[in-house]
């Protein structure tokens, strides 16, 4: 492998890692948002029935 090919390969690996991190963060954010909305619904129902 030439120096240029190595550089291109390294850049590709870094980009893939970054995309994976973004997907993980997006999943965490979605589940966090879901938990918050579920908690709000539970609290709202609790207030409504009490």
pLDDT at site 2: 92
pLDDT at site 1: 75
| Mean pLDDT, the chain, integer | 92
DSSP characters over 22-43: HHHHHHHHHHHHHHHHHHHHHH
pLDDT at site 28: 93
What are 15-33's pLDDT values in tens digits? Answer: 999 999 899 999 999 999 9
pLDDT at site 14: 93
Give the chain's end-to-end CA distance (angstroms, integer): 71
DSSP designation for 1: -
């Amino acid at each position: 492998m030439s120096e240029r090919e190595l550089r291109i390969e390294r850049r590709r690996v870094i980009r893939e890692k970054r995309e994976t991190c973004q997907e993980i963060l997006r999943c965490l954010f979605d589940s966090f948002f879901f938990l918050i909305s579920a908690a709000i619904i539970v609290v709202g129902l609790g207030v409504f029935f009490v």
